[in-house]
Amino acid sequence: MTAARITLVLGGARSGKSRFAEQLAAAGTRVCFVATATAGDENMSHRIARHRADRPETWTTIEAPTALAETLRPVVSGFDTIVIDCLTMWASNILLAASDAGAAEAAAEAETAALVALMRDGGAHWILVSNEVGLGVVPATTLGRDYRDLLGRVNQRVAAAADRVAFLIAGIPLELRPWSPE
């Protein structure tokens, strides 16, 4: 079994992150797509349906709005490629389920550590998608600032563990961590 590979794909909204991640995953033969979004409104329901329709039918889809490591641990050995799309929604789900920002931070830290340990433990290629939300204006609300900070810390922890990191701008990937051919 080959060593685990971790690829983090960052970018802004509608930057092409998901499409890029799916292109990377297409090289896999046994692909698991992990969806973290929940359909909270009609718009999100349509986005989820569109993303689902765009994925190859041969891929296995698992819905996991939280507890990624716990959900994936029993099945991870059955896949050579695992796409998590996206950490953005996952962090939001953690924040909204917590009693306060401190509890959300503790939950995100524990879940991120468990996920990183799981990714390093096996031989799959992990491709994680996340928004970079720290480049814009400071959010006007406490919840917005808490979310930006929480996601920023999650992104930093995953980037530190990643072998490859790309930042997408207008569909064009920029290499942030040395990128070597496989």
What tens digit of pLDDT does each residue of 16-54 get? 999 999 999 999 999 999 999 888 889 888 888 888 888
Q: Is 51 a catalytic residue?
A: yes
What tens digit of pLDDT does each residue of 94-117 get? 999 999 999 999 999 999 999 999
In a 3-state reduction of DSSP, which class is residue 71?
A: helix
Number of structural domains the chain divides into? 1
What is the structure's pLDDT at 180?
Answer: 59
Q: Which domain holds residue 61?
A: 5-177
| Length of the chain (residues) | 182
In a domain, 35, yes or no: yes
In a 3-state reduction of DSSP, which class is residue 15?
A: coil
Domain harbouring 86, CATH code: 3.40.50.300
pTM above 0.85, yes or no: yes
In a domain, 182, yes or no: no
In a domain, 52, yes or no: yes
Rounded to an integer, what is the distance from CA 58 to the centroid of its chain? 20
The one catalytic residue in 5, 19, 51, 73 is: 51
